[in-house]
């Protein structure tokens, strides 16, 4: 009789745990508050003709207990982008990408893969990554140091086996409906945070910003990997 009671209690706990897990999963899939916030961010972002953003990248390696920070600038126009970091520049016109390695005086040319454009996290979709391939969950509102109200939303990749990260945490400025930071939690214990320092949508950006000009880099070796 005692063994039957133990088995009953064991099965009861398993059932309760399953309900909790499934409930959290369903909430992440269909969280209406998160969806409303993310839809507003997408709509506003897509209405901009161009975006110029200054940001910092913070890489935290929990295993080695190290933190590395560098600053960057991103210019977006539709799916075209120019990303400037300390020692490299990446330019994409949606079909071709040019990676300029300053330390090596080298330029690598690649074809932009359709699959990467649609499913990967890259500069062209960094402010709208939530639109495809994620479940999402509203976490909380919090007040920043400067008094802004930020909305915290977690994204969970649907096809997690193919990703090297398990969660993306978005911090969204509630008043502006703009992403203030993006934190990518890696499976290997490395977390990467993109913290936006300035966000400008009024600059006129010419299309030649997104095409590599060889004359601007005399003496650089051009390596065509297409």
Where do the domains of the chain lie?
A: 1-30, 31-224
| Tens digit of each residue's pLDDT (9 = 90 or more) over 169-201 | 999 999 999 999 999 999 999 999 999 999 999
pTM: 0.77
CA atoms within 13 A on the CB side of 54: 3
Q: Does the pLDDT of residue 17 top 70, yes or no?
A: no
Q: What is the pLDDT of residues 66-98, one digit of tens each?
A: 999 999 999 999 889 999 998 999 999 999 999
Scan for tokens 């297409």, then name that residue. Answer: 226
Q: Is the pLDDT of residue 213 over 50?
A: yes
- Tell me the pLDDT band of 222, cut-offs 50, 70 and 90: very high
26 — pLDDT class (breaks 50, 70, 90)? very low
Contact 75, 50 (CB under 8 A): yes
Cβ neighbours, 10 Å, residue 169? 16
Q: What does CATH list as the number for 31-224?
A: 2.50.20.10
Contact between 175 and 149 under an 8 Å Cβ cutoff? The reply is yes
- The predicted-structure confidence for 152-165, as pLDDT tens digits, reads as follows 999 998 888 888 88
């Amino acid at each position: 009789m005692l063994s039957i009671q133990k088995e009953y209690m064991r099965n009861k706990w398993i059932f309760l745990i399953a309900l909790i897990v499934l409930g959290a999963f369903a909430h992440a899939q269909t969280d209406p508050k998160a969806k409303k916030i993310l839809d507003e961010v997408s709509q506003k972002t897509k209405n901009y003709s161009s975006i110029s953003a200054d940001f910092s990248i913070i890489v935290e390696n929990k295993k080695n207990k190290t933190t590395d920070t560098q600053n960057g600038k991103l210019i977006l126009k539709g799916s075209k982008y120019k990303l400037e970091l300390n020692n490299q520049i990446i330019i994409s016109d949606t079909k071709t990408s040019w990676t300029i390695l300053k330390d090596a005086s080298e330029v690598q040319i690649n074809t932009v893969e359709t699959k990467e454009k649609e499913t990967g996290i890259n500069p062209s979709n960094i402010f709208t990554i939530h639109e495809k391939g994620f479940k999402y969950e509203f976490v909380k509102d919090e007040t920043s140091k400067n008094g802004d109200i930020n909305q915290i939303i977690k994204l969970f990749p649907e096809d997690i086996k193919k990703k090297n990260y398990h969660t993306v945490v978005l911090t969204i400025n509630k008043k502006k409906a703009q992403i203030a930071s993006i934190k990518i939690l890696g499976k290997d214990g490395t977390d990467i945070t993109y913290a936006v320092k300035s966000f400008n949508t009024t600059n006129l950006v010419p299309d030649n910003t997104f095409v590599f000009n060889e004359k601007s880099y005399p003496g650089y070796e051009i390596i065509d990997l297409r």
